[in-house]
């Protein structure tokens, strides 16, 4: 049976890397007594696949891992057990059963978009300038690969944006097809605001000289179904007490 | 969420920030206002190494069982963070509470190897605790050292308020109770330290004074206050099943050197290899019962979720119920999908069977530690492993499908000749020959025999504590001789050889058998920027040599010099059970090439029976 788990990564645990998160879950499965499926061989490993690694230092309330289990209790019970055995900084939010065919294209390859909130350590940027930035028809950024450097337009990969009280909301294309990281957007914004800002006030941007001016918080990951973006967990269904096996 | 001591900005600037955030699974959080004693436990090396250490896990658990104590942990910040903390005046803090160490009652430092001595100063310095114990005042944290290096604590003596000699399980309760009394009664630090001297196993270095002869050797080492014992006897646990052992070991959030559950099956070793310090200082052997270990293994696997379990002991093959334990663990780990990693077992039918069940033969290798290249020298060092054992073991293993062998040797042991040195390569060659004697169709490709040599460093409380040590030049000449001899073997293509630079071993030797006059050298080396000496990329022999020269201390006096059998040694005031007389006898037997049977074959009256337990009393009641 395929299970999709949605979880958070917050607080001090934002400083552990992606591989550490994987190791964390492997141990969590054992502590919580999840009847997970193992591979064969001398060093059996759990069948587990994570969606979209998060950058070190970033936080999230929309992380996903898919697992294979042999049996399971209800969603409610499993969430309780996992949270009891786990840390509060990695909280399990959803535990749903997904159809086998959904799983075949696993959590990783399901991803089509991601929502982020960008916090500004040096205060919110000027909303007019921000609007001007997103109003551009093209936002070219240079992308380095191993062999060459090419210019790509990231504007079509920005699906939505909005300035909120706490920070900047971004909905970006994600996944294996066309992945846009929020860092890339903010680098482009930096370049834009510096250029504009210089013309306007000859001062420096809201990031100032800080080396880490932004904090990225992921809100949700989406899959695309019939043209619609739906949260990854919504592809599955809750396991009710009666139907637990 | 509790705030972190380091800013987000710093954490993102350093390598592996997970080293500094605490929050591990099973970490203990208490309300500081509800405890009487704050204890910071330090392993003075990087987090990944320190978190892999069993001793801290045991004492961390034991201390925290007391309601009035909150024990936390601290490790050496890696040089990148070290720099930042100095530049920005950030005090070193404990991982659990993120509170500064200098506000703690105790800083306990486990001293596992000589090359961490400068890291001890780093930890004190970053904490803002005066490096010299004599400069500490009432408000300062009390610094206590423990671990194997405290069997000669003298080079570090001026940096510590207290040393705990022996196994921590027995006297910390008495120490904490005394401290509470002292704190309540408003007594001075001095009063407290003096009172500590009466606790068994506690050594208070400031209460002893050495004097020296003209030739530089120790003339006397005496207590300078009333009621301070002239000798400090090591502490040890007699009933291993009753000693505390963590049900819920800490589980790190990042990858550490040994990411697994450790089951300590016994302490001590019955085999008195004459170069080995652990084999003497942990005498007598004491086993944990099979039932205890079975239950403990399951409890720890369940509370940690670890994917691997390992056994810890100096010589697992000598554990009397090893077969039952290992087969039990194989079954248990199989159903739990947990790996079992076995420390090097003596190679025989049993261990080959076990290894074939738990490892991938094609990838794994067999390990032998002959320690010397010829039977003559193996007799000198009392290594009861014969060439016949090795060749038979290798032959069985090769037939079972293995084709990789690792061999460990030491260069520079007493009486070693060039013939012994060449013997290393020749033994490797004979193992390769055994492989190629197997019919070609039954072999699995080529074999690979990897030999590694380390340089022999004489250690306190061993029969070789008086022995001279080779010079660095001599070591390197011998290493080249091994290499050269390997090259002239028939199967040289199947032989590999590793050795390392000799400088670190020379320094290790000086510190291991040193006295208090080395403290200023350590201090100076630290001031010159030496930290993480155990790490090749940070070790600077040059700075250390400058430190010796500037302090006017002759390193050779401590490292290579042969000691007179009657010399008063800096560690003679410690009583580890094993008598000096026994060690002398063993040294003499070594020089004559006479082997001494192990404790189970025959008791040799080493002195450790005074503790009244362990192997010395097996089958005696
Ligand atoms: S007294 Fe005898 S049995 Fe006990 S440790 Fe010493 S040699 Fe071994």
- Dump pLDDT digits (tens) for B553-596: 999 999 999 999 999 999 999 999 999 999 999 999 999 999 99
Cβ within 8 Å, pair B337-A11:
no
Residues 348-387 of B with CB under 8 A from A: 358-360
Q: Is 0.90 surpassed by the pTM of this model?
A: yes
Q: Is residue A205 packed enough to be buried (19+ CB in 10 Å), middle (13-18) or exposed (0-12)?
A: buried
Q: Whose CA is nearest to atom 3 of ligand 1?
A: B616
Q: What is the pLDDT of residue B1?
A: 39
A130 with A97, same domain: the answer is no
Q: For chains A and B, what is the number of CB pairs under 8 angstroms? A: 80
| pLDDT tier at A104, thresholds 50, 70, 90 | low
Q: How far away, in angstroms, is B283 Cα from ligand 1 center? A: 7
Q: What is the pLDDT of residue B604?
A: 94
- 8 Å CB contact between B19 and B254: yes
- What are the phi and psi torsion angles at A131 (to 5°)? -60, -40
Q: How far away, in angstroms, is A13 Cα from ligand 1 center? A: 50
| pLDDT tier at A52, thresholds 50, 70, 90 | confident
CATH of the domain at A71: 3.30.70.580
Q: Whose CA is nearest to atom 2 of ligand 1?
A: B603
Paired tokens of B459: 């250690």
A215 with A238, same domain: the answer is no
Q: What is the pLDDT of residues A124-134, one digit of tens each?
A: 888 999 999 99
Mean pLDDT for all residues in chain A: 88
**H or E element, residue A66:** strand A59-68
**How many Cβ atoms are within 10 Å of B488's Cβ, its own excluded?**
11
Q: Is the Cα dihedral B214, B220, B221, B227 positive or negative?
A: negative
For residue B56, give the nearest of B152, B168, B143, B179 by alpha carbon.
Answer: B168
CA within 13 Å, CB half, B189:
17
Cβ within 8 Å, pair A89-B23:
yes
A21 with A101, same domain: the answer is yes
CA B375 → CA B6, B408, B420, B434, B588, distances in Å? 57, 15, 9, 18, 18
Q: Strands A140-144, B37-43: parallel, antiparallel or unpaired by DSSP? A: unpaired
A140 with A214, same domain: the answer is yes
- 8 Å CB contact between A27 and A10: no
A140 with A218, same domain: the answer is yes
Distance CA B20, CA B51 (A): 12
Residue B619 or residue B246, greater confidence: B246
ipTM for the assembly: 0.91
Q: Hey, which residues does B162 pair with through a beta bridge?
A: B144
Cβ within 8 Å, pair A42-B307:
no
Q: What is the mean pLDDT of residues A90-99?
A: 95
Distance CA B339, CA B479 (A): 37
Distance of residue A96 Cα from the nearest chain B Cα, in angstroms? 23
Q: Hey, which residues does B164 pair with through a beta bridge?
A: B202
Which residues of chain B does CATH 3.30.750.200 include? 345-543+550-573
Q: Is the Cα dihedral B99, B101, B104, B110 positive or negative?
A: positive
Helix axes A182-200, A127-135, angle to 10 degrees: 120
Q: How far away, in angstroms, is B461 Cα from ligand 1 center? A: 15
Per CB-CB distance under 8 Å, the chain B contacts of A57 are 8, 11-12, 17
Q: How far away, in angstroms, is B286 Cα from ligand 1 center? A: 11
Counting from 1 in the atom list of ligand 1, the atom nearest the Cα of B270 is: 8
Residue B618 or residue B140, greater confidence: B140
A71 with A96, same domain: the answer is yes
Q: Tell whether B307 lies on the interface with A, counting CB pairs under 8 A.
A: yes
Q: What is the pLDDT of residue B620?
A: 59
Q: Tell whether B301 lies on the interface with A, counting CB pairs under 8 A.
A: yes
Per CB-CB distance under 8 Å, the chain B contacts of A215 are 8
A8 with A51, same domain: the answer is yes
Percent of chain B residues topping a pLDDT of 90 = 89
Q: What is the pLDDT of residue A103?
A: 53
**Which of A17, A89, A211 is closest, CB to CB, to B9?**
A211
A158 with A143, same domain: the answer is yes
Q: How many residues belong to chain B?
A: 621
Query: Dihedral of the CA atoms B98, B101, B105, B107 (nearest 10)?
Result: 120
CATH of the domain at A164: 3.30.70
Range list of H helices, B488-607? 503-512, 519-527, 541-551, 555-558, 580-591
Fold assignment, B8-233: Rossmann fold (3.40.50)
Q: What is the pLDDT of residue A35?
A: 96
Q: What is the mean pLDDT of residues B211-221?
A: 97
Q: What is the pLDDT of residue A206?
A: 45
A68 with A131, same domain: the answer is no
Counting from 1 in the atom list of ligand 1, the atom nearest the Cα of B614 is: 4
- What are the phi and psi torsion angles at A138 (to 5°)? -130, 140
Strand order in the sheet with B162-164: B69-75, B37-43, B106-110, B142-146, B162-164, B202-203
Distance of residue A43 Cα from the nearest chain B Cα, in angstroms? 6
Q: What is the pLDDT of residue A196?
A: 79
Distance CA B521, CA B509 (A): 14
Q: Tell whether B330 lies on the interface with A, counting CB pairs under 8 A.
A: no
- Domain region containing A194: 113-225
Q: Please name the residue that has the structure tokens 């909005």.
A: A162
Disruptive mutation site among A18, A23, A69, A90 for chain B (greatest number of B CBs within 10 Å): A23
**Which of B1, B12, B305 is closest, CB to CB, to A12?**
B1
Q: Is residue B443 packed enough to be buried (19+ CB in 10 Å), middle (13-18) or exposed (0-12)?
A: middle
- The yes-or-no verdict on residue A145 having pLDDT over 80 is no
- The yes-or-no verdict on residue B149 having pLDDT over 70 is yes
Q: What is the pLDDT of residue A99?
A: 84
Least confident of A169-178, B231-240, B416-425, B459-468: A169-178
A211 with A171, same domain: the answer is yes
- What are the phi and psi torsion angles at A153 (to 5°)? -95, 115
Which residues of chain B does CATH 3.40.50.280 include? 8-233
Distance CA B78, CA B15 (A): 8
A124 with A182, same domain: the answer is yes
Q: Show Cβ contacts of residue A50 under 8 Å, excluding neighbours closer than 6 positions.
A: A18, A21, A22, A63, A64, A65, A66, A107, A108
**H or E element, residue B418:** helix B418-437
Q: Whose CA is nearest to atom 5 of ligand 1?
A: B284
Helix-then-strand count for chain A, H and E: 6, 12
Distance CA B8, CA B19 (A): 14
**Which of B8, B255, B336 is closest, CB to CB, to A23?**
B255
- The yes-or-no verdict on residue B40 having pLDDT over 50 is yes
Specify the CATH number for B256-343+577-621; select among 3.40.50, 3.20.20, 3.30.750, 3.30.460: 3.30.750
Helix axes B322-336, B290-304, angle to 10 degrees: 20
Q: Tell whether B247 lies on the interface with A, counting CB pairs under 8 A.
A: no
Distance CA B468, CA B372 (A): 17
Distance of residue B358 Cα from the nearest chain A Cα, in angstroms? 7
A210 with A131, same domain: the answer is yes
Q: What is the pLDDT of residue A122?
A: 83
| pLDDT tier at A106, thresholds 50, 70, 90 | low
**Which of B8, B17, B305 is closest, CB to CB, to A28?**
B305
| pLDDT tier at B509, thresholds 50, 70, 90 | very high
Q: Tell whether A208 lies on the interface with B, counting CB pairs under 8 A.
A: no
Q: What is the pLDDT of residues A180-232, one digit of tens each?
A: 999 999 999 999 988 877 655 444 444 444 567 899 999 999 999 888 999 99
Q: What is the pLDDT of residue B268?
A: 95
- The yes-or-no verdict on residue B345 having pLDDT over 80 is yes
Q: What is the pLDDT of residue B2?
A: 54
CATH annotation of B345-543+550-573 = 3.30.750.200
Per CB-CB distance under 8 Å, the chain B contacts of A29 are 305
**H or E element, residue B54:** helix B54-65
Least confident of A65-74, B141-150, B334-343, B524-533: B334-343
Exposure letters B325-351 (e unless 16+ CB within 10 A, then b): bbebbeebbeebbbbbebeebbbeeeb
- 8 Å CB contact between A20 and A54: no
CA B595 → CA B271, B384, B418, B508, distances in Å? 11, 8, 22, 28
Q: What does the DSSP 8-state code read for residue A46?
A: B
Counting from 1 in the atom list of ligand 1, the atom nearest the Cα of B615 is: 3
Range list of H helices, chain A? 18-31, 75-85, 100-104, 107-110, 127-135, 182-200
């Amino acid at each position: 049976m395929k299970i999709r788990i949605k979880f958070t990564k917050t607080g001090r645990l934002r400083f552990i890397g992606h591989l550490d998160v994987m190791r964390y879950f492997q141990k969590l499965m054992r502590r919580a007594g999840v009847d997970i499926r193992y591979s064969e061989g001398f060093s059996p490993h759990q069948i587990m696949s994570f969606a979209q690694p998060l950058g070190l230092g970033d936080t999230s309330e929309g992380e996903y891992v898919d697992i294979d289990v042999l049996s399971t209790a209800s969603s409610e019970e499993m969430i309780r057990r996992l949270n009891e055995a786990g840390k509060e900084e990695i909280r399990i939010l959803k535990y749903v059963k997904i159809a086998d065919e959904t799983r075949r294209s696993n959590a990783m390859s399901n991803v089509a978009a991601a929502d982020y909130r960008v916090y500004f350590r040096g205060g919110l940027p000027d909303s007019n300038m921000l609007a001007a930035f997103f109003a551009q028809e093209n936002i070219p950024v240079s992308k380095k690969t191993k062999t060459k450097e090419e210019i790509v337009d990231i504007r079509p990969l920005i699906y939505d944006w909005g300035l909120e009280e706490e920070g900047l909301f971004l909905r970006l294309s994600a996944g294996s097809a066309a992945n846009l990281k929020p860092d890339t957007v903010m680098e482009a914004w930096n370049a834009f605001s510096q250029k504009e800002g210089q013309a306007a006030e000859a001062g420096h941007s809201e990031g100032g000289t800080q080396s880490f001016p932004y904090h990225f918080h992921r809100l949700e990951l989406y899959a695309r179904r019939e043209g619609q973006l739906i949260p990854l967990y919504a592809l599955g269904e809750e396991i009710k007490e009666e139907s637990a096996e | 969420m509790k705030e972190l001591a380091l800013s987000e900005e710093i954490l993102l600037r350093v390598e592996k920030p997970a080293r500094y955030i605490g929050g591990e699974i099973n970490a203990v959080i208490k309300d500081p206002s509800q405890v009487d004693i704050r204890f910071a436990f330090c392993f003075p090396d990087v987090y990944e190494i320190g978190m892999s250490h069993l001793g801290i896990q045991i004492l961390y658990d034991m201390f925290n069982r007391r309601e009035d104590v909150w024990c936390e942990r601290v490790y050496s910040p890696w040089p990148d963070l070290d720099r930042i903390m100095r530049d920005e005046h950030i005090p070193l803090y404990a991982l659990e509470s993120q509170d500064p160490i200098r506000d703690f009652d105790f800083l306990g430092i486990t001293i596992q190897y000589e090359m961490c001595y400068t890291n001890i100063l780093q930890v004190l310095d970053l904490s803002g605790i005066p490096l010299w114990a004599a400069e500490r005042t009432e408000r300062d944290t009390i610094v206590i050292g423990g671990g194997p290096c405290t069997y000669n604590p003298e080079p570090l003596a001026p940096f510590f308020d207290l040393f705990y000699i022996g196994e921590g399980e027995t006297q910390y309760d008495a120490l904490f109770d005394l401290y509470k009394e002292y704190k309540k009664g408003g007594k001075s630090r001095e009063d407290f330290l003096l009172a500590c001297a009466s606790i068994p196993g506690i050594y208070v270095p400031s209460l002893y004074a050495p004097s020296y002869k003209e030739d530089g050797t120790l003339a006397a080492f005496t207590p300078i206050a009333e009621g301070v014992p002239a000798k400090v006897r090591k502490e040890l646990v007699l009933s291993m099943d009753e000693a505390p052992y963590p049900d819920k070991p800490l589980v790190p959030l990042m990858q550490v050197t040994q990411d697994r559950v450790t089951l300590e099956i016994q302490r001590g070793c019955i085999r008195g290899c004459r170069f080995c310090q652990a084999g003497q200082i942990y005498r007598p052997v004491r086993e944990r019962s099979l039932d205890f270990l079975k239950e403990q293994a399951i409890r720890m696997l369940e509370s940690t979720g670890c994917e691997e379990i390992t056994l810890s002991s100096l010589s697992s093959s000598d554990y009397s119920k090893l077969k039952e334990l290992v087969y039990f663990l194989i079954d248990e780990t199989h159903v739990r999908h947990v790996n079992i990693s076995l420390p090097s077992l003596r190679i025989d039918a049993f261990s080959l069977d076990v290894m074939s069940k738990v490892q991938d033969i094609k990838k794994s290798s067999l390990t032998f530690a002959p320690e010397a290249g010829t039977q003559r020298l193996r007799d000198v060092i009392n290594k009861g492993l014969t060439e016949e054992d090795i060749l038979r073991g290798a032959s069985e293993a090769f037939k079972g499908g293995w084709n990789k062998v690792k061999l460990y040797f030491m260069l520079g042991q007493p009486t070693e000749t060039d013939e012994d040195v060449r013997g290393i390569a020749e033994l490797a060659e004979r193992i390769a020959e055994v492989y190629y004697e197997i019919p070609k169709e039954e072999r699995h490709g080529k074999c690979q025999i990897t030999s590694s040599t380390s340089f022999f460093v004489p250690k306190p409380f061993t029969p070789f504590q008086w022995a001279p040590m080779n010079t660095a030049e001599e070591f390197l000449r011998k290493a080249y001789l091994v290499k050269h001899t390997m090259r002239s073997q028939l199967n040289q293509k199947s032989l590999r050889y590793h050795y390392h630079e000799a400088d670190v071993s020379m320094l290790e030797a000086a510190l291991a058998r040193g006295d208090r006059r080395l403290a200023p050298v350590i201090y100076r080396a630290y001031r010159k920027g030496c930290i993480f000496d155990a790490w090749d990329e940070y070790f600077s022999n040059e700075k250390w040599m400058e430190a010796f020269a500037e302090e006017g201390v002759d390193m050779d006096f401590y490292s290579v010099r042969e000691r007179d059998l009657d010399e008063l040694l800096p560690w003679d005031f410690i009583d580890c059970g094993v008598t000096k007389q026994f060690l002398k006898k063993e040294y003499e037997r070594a020089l004559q090439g006479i082997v001494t049977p192990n404790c189970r074959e025959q008791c040799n009256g080493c002195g450790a029976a005074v503790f009244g337990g362990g192997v010395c009393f097996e089958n005696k009641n």
